[in-house]
Structure 1
């Protein structure tokens, strides 16, 4: 894997079966399926596969979007385009001996997947439908289409001032930011995100203090474009969206603009959006296709213990526990404990964190792990971990550790916490507790034969709040480096 390949926090997805049911229930795909079943050899389509104008009222009626709904034919046309582009219907070209300029349709091979395919087949159909809608959402708004058509009969993109690649990249970026807010621990999660926040995340530079009037104007323009796009993306089930208040759009916008709004209700009037569970699946699929590492909980369940323990280094606590539970569910407890302990050994930079995650995983194995844990009591790298685990379970006959093992475990524990990026206050408490609990801690610690000894002692010098003790830690780090 390339070093610069982006990695996102893991997402917890619903099962494929649940997501497939959600996909079939989305308004747009449900309409496309219904029209595919309604269509037959007498259904006429234009040269591009679209329903001819004369067929649209009947199609709208079939969908329950008849004359009482002004946009019924437009909704029917959109659903039909999805049916064609996802292979739910196949277009037959007009016969050579006819000048009607229209063709007809037959059921496509993919229509059978709706009832006879696997959940993955259904999700594949839905992703194809999402591609269709995404293309529509990033298409230009043609208020005067005639003025945009050049002498050659093609649409002049320069006249439209429309860059299709830039437009697609912008919407992909917005969806990526929404995904990140959803999967990041302590992020937005289930809460909807204000449209101004998403627009600003793409336009306002990170190092900008107070946005300029020009930047605020760009944010406002992006919001209105996103409002149109999310209205299109909601029927395919990607998002739940509260549109921009139409009364608000008619009001005079003050100089401060949406970025300056502080009241929750005021912000909500500018639009609120959240990814659905199906939307999380869909955006993740697009991220993976773009080469972005977007892990999901369960990805490591069929991997070896070393891969699991290394992978958990990038997981938030809740996701790490869920991933470990899925991994353990596929294994016999005693065998899983042995595999975890074997994977926890090592002198590489990731080993301390592997041992920490191993200890946490063993708490989920339960009593069945005890024989495997007792088997490593004399292991220089695992003996301290084993004693801690046994003591926490109230096990009897746990031998006292030699002093060398106590200090080795102390260095290993702090190295793991440093690698995990723990909270500074928690690390300070850990460091100060270790020093206070062992007289002459640094005199013994610098001699510990652990690859991270010097780095840990330097960190203790930064973290300890007592200046004299911090100075002793730095001296010990110097001794360790000199000795090794």
Structure 2
């Protein structure tokens, strides 16, 4: 969705999930419209990028003193300091690297060879431990007072080397950022088997790898990944566990910095802990106002029995506004089958039973069949979340991305006949803010019809 700061509630992509669940709906026509309406709302609206904005679970980071002390014990950092002292003042190649004879000597005396020596050299130079000019290499500055800024630069140097074959595994290099983000999202780490399987899936989907390549990778990737993880451990990012890997405290800090730079939602536990103590109604209001980050509900649910949490949310939604249902819908979407009893109870609620039917259906659980009218009601309910946003006017600007056409005109007509209490308000919203004059005029006309009924 757009990074609107409203906790992820304006998510017209929710409409797409209704398609296969609506029994009497014209499939191709409604698919075309809803796909059109959902498009573009999963991307950042910062204007500088088109990347998807992701929400990560809140994390705890070690104290600044502990982290700074840990930087000094990272093998890569220690070797960069050793290499800088060893190098002293000497000539370098036109590319600013050690001559082969000096590189061989560094290997003998420091145990640094090949790509590892190149990585350590780059870190030493980029961090200022070594200075390169026309005269060659010479001693640079000492470690800066701000060791975390220094560490951030070291990690960026490491991640920038993936195009040059950082880990020795092409697959690990290709998907290193995804791997770091995945492990960041699992505070207890990830098993080795799950990591291998995740990397294979990422490669198969992201790189459209064919069956022969995947068969080869299934045999080769475990050994490659083992070597890659050793390199990342050397860089201070990973540590081994009994059956897998996890980020080090420095790794957690560094990955979070990178996620924040990319505009993702990666809060500290201290920033969202208070939201976990709120009632369901208070949490929903905080999300609707934009006060709570989109990661707050994750922690709120984690602190409760899933079925009980779902029941609390549904109680608020059943008597609340479309805006509240929009917020609650995004939270319920993240809950698994353990919440089924609460969703079955919701089938008895007039304003929630359609949402509950969709929730059950998409999880292949027994659910009522929805009619075309039910589908329209849900579409109105989702669009009506705009009526309850503090920046509804700005959010409506996203309608400029919609391609007006017969499908949108047809939905406008369907909305005018809907029994949803917000149907007229939604039509008036479209009539006032849709950039296409034909759509806006049709919506105003449909609103007049609906009022006359």
| TM-score relative to the length of structure 2 | 0.50
Q: Which has the higher contact order (CA 8 A, sep 6+)?
A: 2
Say which one has the larger Rg.
1
